C-alpha cells in the first residue's frame, strides 16, 4: 500500500465518497427515478462539493501568497526580540546575526509557495479520484446480484462490509457538519478580533477538522502567528483563547463523542490510526485515517467471529456494550439490500456451491 499510495489513497477516497452518497441515490430510486439518472445526479453533487473545496483551498493559498509578504519586517523584528530575550537569559545562541540571515520570513513564504506548486503535483491523483468515482457510480446502479453472491459465499464478510458502508457514510456527514460549524464560528470570531485573512483561516479550520486529534492544533498555529505579527501579543492570546474554547470544545469533546457513537473507535485507536495511515499512504492518509481503519476492522475483525475479541482494544465502551459486537454472525439465510432500498433473500441454493451438490 505504501508503494502504491498514489493509487490506493485516491481510489479509496473515491470509494468512501460514493458510499456516502448511496443513501441519497437509493432514496431517489425509491421515488421513481431511473437508477442511472439517480447515480449521475449524486455523482455530479459530489463533484460539485469537491470543486468548491478545491477552489476554496486554491483561493486561500493565493491569498496567503499575496498577503504574508507584508509582514516580513514584523517577523524579522519578532525573531530578533526572541533572540535578544534568550541571550539575556544566558542562553548561548551562536551567531545570531548569521541565523537572522538564514531564518527569515522568506523561508515561511517558501512553504506557502511549495504548497501552491504542490497543487499541480497532485493533479494525477485528483484525476484518478474523479475517474474512479465515475466508474464506481456506474457500478452502483446494479449491485444486488453481487451483494447476494457475497452474502451466500461469505455472510459474515457481507454483514461486516454493510456495517462499514453505513459507518463511513455517517462519519463523513458528521465531520462535514462539524467542520462547517467550526469554520463559521472561527471566521466570525477572527473578524471581531481583527485578524487578517479570516475567511482563509476558516477554510483551514474546515479542512483540518477532517484530521483527527491534531486538526485543532494545525488550524490554530497559522492564525495565531498572523495575529501576533499584526496585532501583537494580546491579539494572539485572544485567538488562542477563542480557538481553545470553541474549537477544542467542539472538535475535541463534542465531535469525538458523536463520532465515537457513529464509528465506535476509541480516541486512542483514532490517534494511532492517524499516525499509521499518514505513514502508509501519505498526507491523504491523515484524512482517511478513520475510514481506512473502519475498512480493515470490518474485513479482518468484524467478518470473523473468532476475531471479535480484538474489538475490546479498538472500540469505545459504549460500542462494546452494543448487542452483536462479540456475537458470531449467523450464516443462515443472509439478507442483502437491493439497489432500490428493499431487501432480498440471499439463501444459498445447490447451484451456488457446485462442489456441495447432492448426488
Res. 112: pLDDT tops 60:
no
Q: Give the count of alpha carbons within 13 A of 113, CB side only.
A: 9
Q: By three-state DSSP, how is residue 316 classified?
A: coil
Mean of pLDDT values over 187-213: 87
Q: What is the pairing mode between strands 343-345 and 335-337?
A: antiparallel
**Nearest in space to 239 (alpha carbons), one of 268, 197, 292, 296:** 197
**How much is the pLDDT for 252?**
66
Question: Taking 50 as the threshold, does the pLDDT of residue 339 lie above it?
Answer: yes
Question: Under 8 Å CB-to-CB from 103, ≥6 apart: which residues?
Answer: 79
Measure the CA dihedral 297/300/302/308, to 10°: -100
Q: Is the pLDDT of residue 346 over 60?
A: no
- The mean predicted confidence, pLDDT, of the chain is 79
Which residue reads 456441495 in cell numbers?
356
pLDDT at residue 271, as a whole number: 86
Band (114; pLDDT cuts 50, 70, 90): low
Say which residue, 298 or 262, is predicted with more confidence: 298
How high is the pLDDT of residue 131? 92
pLDDT at 337: 54
pLDDT at 186 > cutoff 70: yes
Q: Grid coordinates in use for 338?
A: 437491493
Write down the pLDDT at residue 15. Answer: 94
Between 346 and 79, name the one with better pLDDT.
79
Give residue-wise pLDDT tens across range 84-109.
666 766 655 555 555 544 444 555 55
* Burial of residue 302, with CB atoms counted within 10 A of its CB: 0-12 exposed, 13-18 middle, 19 or more buried: buried
- How far CA 224 is from CA of 81, 189, 230, 242, in Å, comes to 18, 13, 10, 10
The pTM of the full predicted model, rounded to 2 decimals, is: 0.76
Q: Given a cut of 80, is residue 323 above it in pLDDT?
A: no
Q: Using one digit for the tens of pLDDT, what is the confidence trace for 207-239?
A: 888 887 788 888 888 888 888 888 788 888 999
Number of H helices, E strands in the chain: 16, 2
For residue 355, the model assigns a pLDDT of 47
Neighbours of 67 (CB within 10 A): 14
User: Does an H or E element contain 170, and which?
Assistant: helix 155-193
Lowest mean pLDDT of 152-156, 168-172, 196-200, 314-318, name the range.
314-318
**% of the chain surpassing 70 pLDDT:** 72
Summarised one tens digit per residue, pLDDT across range 127-139 is 889 999 999 998 8
| Residue 99 vs residue 71, higher pLDDT | 71
Cβ atoms of residues 38 and 28 within 8 Å: yes
User: What are 29-61's pLDDT values in tens digits?
Assistant: 999 999 999 999 999 999 999 999 888 888 887
Residue 106 has a pLDDT of 52
Amino acid at each position: 500500500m505504501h508503494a502504491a499510495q498514489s493509487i490506493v489513497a485516491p481510489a479509496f477516497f473515491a470509494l468512501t465518497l460514493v458510499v456516502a452518497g448511496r443513501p441519497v441515490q437509493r432514496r431517489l430510486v425509491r421515488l421513481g427515478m431511473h437508477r442511472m439518472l439517480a447515480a449521475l445526479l449524486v455523482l455530479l453533487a459530489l463533484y460539485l462539493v469537491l470543486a468548491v473545496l478545491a477552489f476554496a483551498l486554491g483561493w486561500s493559498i493565493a491569498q496567503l501568497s499575496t498577503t504574508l509578504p507584508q509582514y516580513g519586517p514584523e517577523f524579522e523584528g519578532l525573531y530578533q526580540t526572541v533572540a535578544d530575550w534568550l541571550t539575556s537569559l544566558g542562553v548561548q545562541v551562536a551567531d545570531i546575526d548569521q541565523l537572522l540571515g538564514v531564518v527569515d520570513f522568506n523561508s515561511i513564504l517558501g512553504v506557502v509557495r511549495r504548497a501552491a506548486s504542490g497543487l499541480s503535483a497532485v493533479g494525477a491523483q485528483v484525476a484518478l479520484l474523479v475517474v474512479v468515482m465515475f466508474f464506481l457510480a456506474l457500478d452502483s446502479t446494479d449491485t444486488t446480484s453481487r451483494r447476494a453472491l457475497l452474502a451466500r459465499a461469505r455472510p459474515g464478510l457481507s454483514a461486516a462490509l454493510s456495517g462499514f458502508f453505513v459507518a463511513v457514510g455517517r462519519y463523513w456527514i458528521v465531520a462535514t457538519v462539524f467542520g462547517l460549524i467550526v469554520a463559521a464560528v472561527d471566521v466570525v470570531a477572527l473578524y471581531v478580533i481583527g485578524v487578517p485573512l479570516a475567511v482563509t483561516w476558516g477554510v483551514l479550520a474546515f479542512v483540518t477538522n477532517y484530521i483527527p486529534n491534531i486538526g485543532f492544533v494545525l488550524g490554530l498555529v497559522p492564525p495565531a502567528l498572523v495575529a501576533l505579527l499584526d496585532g501583537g501579543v494580546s491579539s494572539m492570546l485572544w485567538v488562542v483563547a477563542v480557538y481553545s474554547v470553541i474549537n477544542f470544545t467542539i472538535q475535541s469533546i463534542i465531535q469525538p463523542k458523536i463520532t465515537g457513537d457513529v464509528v465506535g473507535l476509541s480516541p486512542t485507536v483514532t490517534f494511532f490510526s492517524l499516525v499509521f495511515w499518514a505513514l502508509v499512504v501519505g498526507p491523504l492518509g491523515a484524512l482517511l485515517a478513520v475510514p481506512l481503519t473502519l475498512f480493515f476492522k470490518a474485513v479482518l475483525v468484524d467478518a470473523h467471529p473468532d476475531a471479535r475479541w480484538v474489538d475490546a482494544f479498538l472500540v469505545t465502551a459504549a460500542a462494546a456494550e452494543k448487542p452483536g459486537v462479540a456475537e458470531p454472525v449467523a450464516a443462515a439465510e443472509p439478507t442483502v439490500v437491493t439497489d432500490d432500498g428493499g431487501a432480498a433473500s440471499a439463501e444459498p441454493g445447490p447451484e451456488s456451491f457446485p462442489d456441495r451438490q447432492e448426488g
